[in-house]
Amino acid sequence: MAENNDVQKEQISQAYLALVWWKFKKNKMAVVGGVIVILFYLICGVLAEFVSPYPLSFQSDYLEARPQPLVFKNQEGKFSLIPSVYGLEETVDVELRKRIYVVDKTQIFPLALLPKAAEPYKLLGFIPMNRHLFGVNLKAAPDGYAFLFGTDRLGRDIFSRIIYGGRLSLLIGLLGQIGTFVLGSAMGTISGYYGGVVDILIQRLTEFVGAFPDIPLFMALAAAIPIGWSPIMVYFMLTLIMVFIRWGGLARQVRGLILSLREREYVLAAQSAGASDARLMFRHLLPGTLSHIIVIATLMIPGMILSETALSFLGLGLRPPLTSWGVLLQEVTSVRAIRFAPWLLIPLPFIVLAILAFNMLGDGLRDAMDPYGGR
Amino acid sequence: MLSYILRRLGYAAIMLVLVSFVSFLIIELPPGDYLTKKLQDLQARGDRSAELRIAEYRVRYGLDKPLMERYWIWASNFIKGDFGESFEFERPVTEILGNRIGFTVLMAVSVIIVQWGIAIPIGVYSATHQYSLGDQVVTTLSFVGLGMPGFLLALLVMFFAMVVLGQEVSGLFSNEFKDAPWTIAKVIDLLKHLWIPALVGSVTGTAGLVRIMRGNLLETLGQPFVEAARARGLTNQKVTWKHAVRVAINPLIVILGSETLPSVVAGNALVATVLNLPTVGPLYVSALQSQDMYLAGTVLVFIVFMTLMGNLLADLVLAALDPRIRLE
């Protein structure tokens, strides 16, 4: 009985965040989106070296090989629950005058869960490991290979590259968003709190940056990155450019929220207790806007990921030694590639899935942030 | 009203000057310029007079002068309608843009027609049949459409057309018509090619419009004046189209001004690049890549110009249509 009472009490005095969580959970689309987003970050961001069967530096002798179909057979050709892949055979396409690969059904390479890696590697660069999530069973087929999504023109495994590419693409969205978040909320808070000349200056600045349309400005700034820079520098520069272009929108929204919060009594109370400006702004005012900012920020991440993809695709963003989704798509800029190696387009559905998942998550969060409203 | 317009125009003018200067700076930013690259090219080819020729170019384009002076020359000529010369094509920017602006406007107009033609009826249907199966399908589709980036869709369409249908979709003309003079046959050929980029380019915008139209109309339909119109015995169709839609459509004009008008200049550069369209967008991208600064700078300034004008026009039209809005 006492326990029952406790449960009831808990339901009545739900805190705001608990209500938000409760409303969010009811929205199936948003939950699915959130799970997919977390999976993407887990697989690509954290476990890329483990999940991808081949390391990033790996190059096979099979150039532009088509994806090897998955079959549930063992090496004797009998049904087996452990999937295998068919091998590839090199032939010459007379019409195209080009080496191509066809599926060779006489060779069967069984796959294995957690096989020993060809060489030990370090997860995230510091955790030594010697097993991949899956791969060809090298004991059963010593010279076997498995390119589930085929290979590119340098013989690299596309499946692995999609996972590694996701790491940079998803990270640039996150890093860029964190930067935008910090700069935008700081500028917005300062602008809203001080008002007057500071406010006018910051507002004019955001208007000025906003007068440039996103993508053309982004292209122009990205094109200004010197070609000689190291890939890491280019990566961070691109992130900075994104922050520079996007912070204005966030700052304006934060400013609006701060303007209304500033008039609340608790601010006056804190002020009379002798709180400094900085403390008032960043301890008392900014936290009140956080839930809003987080939603706006989540809704902006897919745009950032897409900007990177688009720019790299055009050759203005990240460049080859780096692997990102946009860099992967660079391979399909030619009509020839789409016609003769359409599997190079396989990264596409993954990009779209990540974007959609982010949108679903962001939409769900936005609805959930107002848990008292109907609908 | 007039003073408002004048003030906005003055504001836009100041903005343009600043924007043009910043554009100039951005385009100037990369170390080394087009001519340095060209010099290397010529020298690699064993051209002995390369250095002399490049030095001559440098003087001709005024590249030996300091930055501010160069900006001043460019900006003052810009107002007179001379946008400088493209290094890559060695022709005036005006001429190069002139060749492409026709198709760019054509693309933009077709995209607008497709977007509005599809989005308004669907949005109205979706709002008047709220929570019906059709509405749910529309809502889901528009959600996917919003998340589907145009250039990725363009890649997919290319793939389907080429690999599945075995058809070429690149460009706006078939090969035999590319350099042919304008004839009825060429126009028909153009129309045959136009619909794919128009459709691909309008997906994201259409999805957005549907969502806004649905939301606006739902809000409007709940208002008393709609009730009053119904009470007077007007047919449902009349109430929806003559009363509610007319009010609900107003906010869309802002989108027409602020997003669609700038697209007349650069269009969707990404989609156009993928589909290899002869519009300004791909030209801008390649100009940025090769540091063809006057060309890239001119396009950038025009995009911003159209954005500013679009916003102003949208505000004016909105004020004219909706008497509740007062401009000050």
pLDDT tens for A208-247 read: 887 777 778 888 888 877 777 888 888 888 888 888 888 8
Name the residue of chain B whose CA is nearest to A307's CA: B149
* Stretch A357-368: mean pLDDT: 83
pLDDT tens digits for range A124-155: 777 877 777 777 777 777 777 778 788 888 87
pLDDT exceeds 60 at position A192: yes
Decide if B261 touches A, using CB distance below 8 A.
Answer: no
Decide if A211 touches B, using CB distance below 8 A.
Answer: yes
Inspect the interface and report whether the beta carbons of B270 and A314 lie closer than 8 Å: yes
Decide if B240 touches A, using CB distance below 8 A.
Answer: no
pLDDT value at residue B179: 67
Which residue in A112, A29, A15 sits closest to A362, CA to CA?
Answer: A29
pLDDT exceeds 70 at position A10: no
Decide if A373 touches B, using CB distance below 8 A.
Answer: no
* Stretch A108-120: mean pLDDT: 76
Q: Is residue B272 packed enough to be buried (19+ CB in 10 Å), middle (13-18) or exposed (0-12)?
A: buried
pLDDT in tens, chain B (328 residues): 788 888 888 888 888 888 888 888 877 766 556 666 667 677 666 666 667 767 776 676 666 677 777 788 778 777 777 777 777 777 777 887 887 888 888 888 888 888 888 888 998 888 888 888 888 888 888 888 877 788 888 888 888 877 777 766 666 677 666 666 777 777 777 777 777 888 888 887 888 888 888 888 888 888 888 888 888 888 888 888 888 888 888 878 777 777 777 776 666 778 888 887 888 888 888 888 777 777 888 888 888 888 888 888 888 888 777 777 666 5
Domains and CATH numbers, chain A: 68-146 (no CATH), 160-369 (1.10.3720.10)
pLDDT exceeds 80 at position A32: yes
Q: Which two tokens stand for residue A39?
A: 């999976």
How high is the mean pLDDT of chain A?
Answer: 80
Residues of A in contact with B19 (CB under 8 A): 208, 211-212
pLDDT exceeds 80 at position A14: no
C-alpha span between B66 and B28 (Å, rounded): 12
Pick the residue of B33, B40, B219, B270 with the most A CBs within 10 A to test the interface with A by mutation: B270
The amino acid at residue B290 is: S
What are residue B242's phi and psi, to 5 degrees?
-85, -30
Nearest Cβ partner for B19 among A212, A316, A332: A212
Decide if A313 touches B, using CB distance below 8 A.
Answer: yes
Residues of A in contact with B273 (CB under 8 A): 314
pLDDT value at residue A374: 46
C-alpha span between B177 and B189 (Å, rounded): 8
pLDDT value at residue A1: 43
* Contact predicate B128/B217, CB 8 Å: yes
Which residue in A167, A322, A297 sits closest to A232, CA to CA?
Answer: A322
Decide if B270 touches A, using CB distance below 8 A.
Answer: yes
Gap from A51 CA to chain B (nearest CA, Å): 26
Gap from A41 CA to chain B (nearest CA, Å): 19
Q: Helices then strands (H, E): number in chain B? A: 16, 2
Banded model confidence at residue A2, pLDDT cuts 50, 70, 90: very low
pLDDT tens digits for range A329-344: 888 877 777 777 778 8
C-alpha span between B158 and B178 (Å, rounded): 20
Q: Is B12 helix (H, G, I), strand (E, B) or coil?
A: helix
Which residue in B192, B168, B310 sits closest to A213, CA to CA?
Answer: B310
Supply the DSSP string of B52-107, one letter for each residue. Answer: HHHHHHHHHTTTTS-HHHHHHHHHHHHHTT---EETTTTEEHHHHHHHHHHHHHHH
Supply the DSSP string of B186-245, one letter for each residue. Answer: HHHHHHHHHHHHHHHHHHHHHHHHHHHHHHHHHHHHTSHHHHHHHHTT--HHHIIIIIIH
C-alpha span between B173 and B291 (Å, rounded): 29
Q: Is B29 helix (H, G, I), strand (E, B) or coil?
A: coil
C-alpha span between A144 and A60 (Å, rounded): 11
Inspect the interface and report whether the beta carbons of B30 and A226 lie closer than 8 Å: yes
